[in-house]
Structures are given as C-alpha cells and as structure tokens.
Structure 1
Amino acid sequence: MNRNNRFKNLFPNILLGIALIGFVILWLSIGGRNSYQAKSRDIYSLYTLAIGIGLIMPYLIYLFGFKSKPMNKLKRNKKDSNKTGIYNTRILQSKRRKKRFEIFVLNESNDNLIVNRNSELENKQWHIFQMKPNESIFFSNGIIFDIDDNNNLEIEDFRNQIIGLGEDYFKKYEVPDYVDWAFIIAEPNKGDTAE
C-alpha cells in the first residue's frame, strides 16, 4: 500500500478521533458535570461549547460531503434493436455528422476496471460507451480513449493491453454491428497479438 492510500485510510480515523474529543467536551460543558455554575463562568461554558462543536464539524463535513460514493457497476448495455442488420456507410456518416460515437469494450483482464473514477467494469463484462469529440474515457489500468477534433479515436495503452476487433470477430464476441470501434482489454503485454 503506498503512502497516499495509507493517508486516505488514516484521515477519516483522525477526524473521528477529533470528533470524539469534541463530543466529550460538549457533553462535559452541557450536562456531564454539576449543573451549578457560577455566573462569572458562563462565558467559559460558551467557549467550551464552541470548541466542542468546532471539533465535531470537520468529521460531519467529511461524512456528508467528501465520503466516497459507491461505484456504479457497468453492465452489458441493451443492444439497440433499431440499429441491427447491415450497417451501411450512409448511417455511419449520419452518426458522424451528429458527432456521437459508440465504443464497445470487453474486459478480459483479471481485474475489475474503474472507469472515469465513478464506474466499474467488471471482469468478463462488456459495455458500449458513447462519446463525443474532445471527450475521454479513463481506465484504472492506464488506458485512455480520446476522440480528437477530426473524429479520430486516439488510444493510450502503455502496457499493451488493447486488442482491436475487426468485423470478423463481431459475431464471436457478440459485438453489435452499429458500434464505431470495438476493443478487448486483455492482460498486460497480451494486446494486439492475441487475435
């Protein structure tokens, strides 16, 4: 575990410890000690009350504002039955004019992949991503899909994991014929040579 992950796991515990100290201070200032207080000490009880609340607030802010939300599991998309059949160039050109592209990605690696920091593509699952120009898809294994201004797909794959699928393999991998590009994400150093 690297230093950043250790700090991420330790940070909520530190905030919880500080909040517990604040709770004890609040409890002592409100009713945890004798209810009789001299009038000259009333201002001090307000200070201790403010300190207790001040120590609890960072944890509450973290709990409700910054706590990570569960990942959205990417499942197989429904295949668009309106687009099935022979996919001719006229439909492809129409889709390119609208500047919307569809990318089929099948995860054949042994890991679940985090996509754009908020979704998860499980092992042996596929998903069809819809993209527009100047959008990117980031995978946790370092792969980046990017569509440039000229509507070309650029791929960054430093670990050689991408296998491009031609039309011959669409049937084998159940790729809908209306997608613009189709890829398999394989284990490191198994890209493009497996097929």
Structure 2
Amino acid sequence: MKTPENANEQFTEFIAKKKFVAQPYPNYYPGISDEKMRPIFTEKINEIASDFKNVVESENPTDKDYQKQIAIGLSRFKENYLELDTEDREMVCAYIEQLMNIVGLESSNGQLNKFIYGFDPIEIAKESKWTDEHGNVFIQKGNEVSIIPAKYEKTEKTYKVFIFNETLNEIQVSERIKIQPNKFKVFNMVDTDTLELNNGVKFMFGETYGLEIEDKKSQVSGLGGEFLVKYGVPDEAEWAFVIVPEGEED
C-alpha cells in the first residue's frame, strides 16, 4: 500500500478532534446516548488511530496489517458493547472508515458490518446441494435446509397404508370394506390406485410427489414417532394415518 506523505499529520488532527458529538444531516448523529461514556469511547477510537500510525511507520504495511488493527480496536469495545446503541456503533465504524481513508484501505474485510449488525450482511452464505438415493434434492444455506421432492414415477409398485378410524362412525371404503370406530385397516395400495373413503377423503399417488391426500374437511392426521406404537402401526406399513372428527386434524 502507498501511504500518503501527510498521514501522520492527519492522524494527529484526527486524535485531537472531539468525538461522538451531534452531527446534522446528511450524516445525522444525535450524539452519544450516554455522556459519561464519551471519554471512554473516544480513548478507544484514538487507540485505533495510534495503532494505524504505528503500521504506517512500519516497513511495507499491507491491508492485512490494518485489518488486524481494526479487529484489535473493535475488540476493545467488547466490554462496553451493550452500552452502545445502534447510532453509537455506526459512529464507531464511521471513525474507523475515516482512518481507513487516510491510509487508502478499501475494506475492513467485513468487520465493520459485523460490529454494527452482529453479522456481515454483504457476506453470502455458502450453498451446498446434494441429491439422495430417491432423487430428492437438498439445498443447505447456512442453517436452513430446503427440500425439492423428486418427481414420482408410477411403476405399479404396492405400498402398505395404515388407516385408523378415530371417529364415532364407521368409514366405508368399498361395498365390502369398512373401518369401524377405533379400528384400523392396512391397505395394499398400488401407486396407480385411488383409495376413496365415504367421508370425502381420498388417498392417491400424484404425478409429482408420490402419495397425496385430498382432505377438504381436515379429517386426516399423519402418524409418526411414539404414535406409531400408540396406534399399533405394524412395522411393514410405509404410511400411517388416523381419521379424526372434522376440523380436528393437527
């Protein structure tokens, strides 16, 4: 980096300047929120200026040298961080930007954004994508994971579907098949079939995401975890559902 010849003079002027005072638009700042913190914060800012001055006087200063001093300087605010409101944090960064301008440093490497917001909003989270053995696509970005289900292709495969009747009425599936209250049936359902109950519920294999349910009256709840044991779902069942009174689906 090429340091301006008058950098030391600029640092001296910067250190002498009164800080954390109210400023008008366009760089509006209401002034420090807690007056007794002014000398404390001023000293910490001036220490960063002194650190920059030492780097200037070193041999062949680099971006990383200044960025290291920014990290050290911001760490000095750690003990008082909760006493800095948003405007004060922004002012701390504004002063550091002034020091960066003196030496021609273009980037703090995201440190100023992290100091203000707790993270760097410019930093784009890395995204990873993979496909499982079933063709489902998983996309992870930070702590968030999205799933794009694989398109289902019908192959006339048979699946076992467990259905428990938790209503007070029998549920008719066909002329001969009924599910009595508090009883269940396990259906061998081919992926080209539609299983239609007389209460308006339909189970079918769609063109996109496999087993789908038409449930306009909120009567179907899926079963999993401890409820598989509670309802006596056999191990071979690939899907398990309970039919509840209208509107009680959860």
Q: Give the number of the structure whose residues are more often helix, by fraction.
A: 1
Q: TM-score, normalised by structure 2?
A: 0.36
Q: Which has the larger radius of gyration?
A: 2
